[in-house]
Amino acid sequence: MSVASVHTPYTVPLAMMDVLQVTVLLLVAAAATGVVLTRQPARQVVVLSVYGVLLAVLFLVFQAPDVTLSELTIGAVVLPIILLLTLAKVRKREE
Amino acid sequence: MTPAQRRWIFLVAGAGLVAFYLWGLTGLPGFGNYPGPYGTAILRVAVAQTQATGVVSAVNFDYRGFDTVGEEFILFTAAAGMAVVLRHLRGERDRSALDEAAGRDVPATSGAVRMVALLFTGPAVVMGWWLASHAQASPSGGFQGGVVLATGFVLVYLAGEFLVFKRFSPVDLTDVVEAVGAAGFVATGLTAVFLGMPYLKDFLPLGQYPGAVSSSGTIALISFFVGLEVAAAFILIVGELLDQTLLVRHREA
């Protein structure tokens, strides 16, 4: 039984799914480039957080809700917090 | 080595990497085509075997439960290592910062941030708890739930209350909760061994209705322990880092 043959009231047409997947893939690629191109560390953390959210959306669109939840909490919340705290400590030492 | 030579070495190495990468890509199965038999087999038997409709959790906490124990201890070791590296050393003293001196105004957290943080604290805790306790029913699990729970505590800090954060999550208590979570997972596996079954074999009654909160036996139990461990680990990590930031501020004041 292939995934495509399953029909529920919530089934999204395959063509629409393809468009959605390509769109989100492009957005993730753009956000990743944005993270690399941002030179100022504190701003980079914020962009990284946005990238985390987009990656979570990507996993959702590719039908992996479990991974979405993990990525949303780790990539968009915990990782930026830890990085910001580290930046705060390093900056204090430099001053 | 001159910059020109360096650039050549980079270009040659880069071209080699790209070639290998593209070669590897051509060998991948087509987009969306999963060739392995394992996933299909699991999808067919998982719900009937485990009474869990959250099949990802069934795989994580039952079919490959032993791997998950290992992953669990990666986080446990990371948090423990962090606590060791960031411990207060003998030479480091907590001194009151200038901004704690009497009669000085401390810049307050903005009202908007406090408001939003407080608004989301309750929902984050409820959501985390719900995720950790519904691994057997829906896409969720102890790991995701634990991190969301920890986020609730971080929001308390964001609301401008480091002391409240510390009071809610004293390091000793967080340590104990983390250890109980990690040990609970291992103990669940060992209990099966004592009952004469393989390690981590589901020994609890599976329940009558697939996807009910009370169903799936040890899958729900392990998810609960993982939730405890992960929440405590992240609270510990963030707490240690906050402590460090404040500690440095104290030393340089």
Task: Give me the pLDDT at residue B212, please.
Answer: 82
Distance between start and end Cα atoms, chain B:
46
Cβ within 8 Å, pair A77-B151:
yes
Residue A38 contacts by C-beta under 8 Å, 6 or more apart in sequence? Answer: A44, A47
CA distance B157 to chain A (A): 12
In a domain, A67, yes or no: yes
Q: Return the pLDDT at B92.
A: 66
**What ipTM describes this predicted complex?**
0.75
Report the amino acid identity of residue B214.
Answer: S
Contact state of B248 with A89 under an 8 Å Cβ cutoff: yes
Report the pLDDT value the prediction gives residue A86, as an integer from 0 to 100.
Answer: 84
Type of residue found at B106? V
Residue B159 CB-density burial (10 A; 0-12 exposed, 13-18 middle, 19+ buried): buried
CA–CA distance, B249 with B253 (Å, rounded to integer) = 6
Rounded CA-CA distance B202/A61 in Å is 33
Does B32 have pLDDT greater than 80? Answer: no
Q: Give a yes or no: residue A4 inside a domain.
A: no
Model confidence band, residue B167 (pLDDT cutoffs 50, 70, 90): confident
CA dist B243 and B171 (Å) reads 11
In a domain? residue A36: yes
Residue B104 pLDDT more than 90? no
Please list the ranges in chain A whose pLDDT falls under 50: 1
Beta carbons of A77 and B147 less than 8 Å apart:
yes
Burial class, B214, CB count within 10 angstroms (exposed 0-12 / middle 13-18 / buried 19+) = middle
**pLDDT the model gives residue B138:** 84
- What is the nearest CA distance from B209 to chain A, expressed in angstroms? 22
| This prediction's pTM | 0.80
pLDDT for residue A84: 87
The answer to whether residue A5 sits within a structural domain is no
- Asked if residue B98 has pLDDT above 50, the reply is no
Residue range B141-166: mean pLDDT, rounded:
82
Residues of A in contact with B241 (CB under 8 A): 82, 85-86, 89
Least confident of B31-45, B47-61, B97-111, B229-243: B97-111
Range of the domain at A66: 11-94
B54 close to B212: Cβ distance less than 8 angstroms = no
Tens digits of residue pLDDT in B117-139:
889 999 999 999 999 999 888 88
- Kindly state whether residue A77 falls inside one of the protein's structural domains: yes
- If one compares B9 and B244, the residue with the highest pLDDT of the two is B9
- Give the one of A66, A73, A82 whose C-beta lies nearest to B237's C-beta: A82
Contact residues, A window 44-83, toward B, CB-based 8 Å cutoff: 65-66, 68-70, 73-74, 77-78, 81-82
- Shortest CA distance to B131 belongs to which of B223, B20, B23, B43? B223
Look at B241 and A85 and tell me if their CB atoms are within 8 Å: yes
Contact A81 B140 (CB under 8 A): no
Residue A55 lies in a domain: yes
Is A32 domain-assigned? yes
Is A85–B151 a contact, with Cβ atoms under 8 angstroms apart?
A: no
**How many A-B residue pairs are in contact by the CB < 8 A criterion?**
52
Q: Which one of A4-13, B34-43, B57-66 scores highest in mean pLDDT? A: B57-66
> Chain A within 8 Å of B140 (Cβ-Cβ)?
yes
SS3 at position A64: coil
Does some domain include residue A24?
Answer: yes
How many domains does chain A divide into?
1
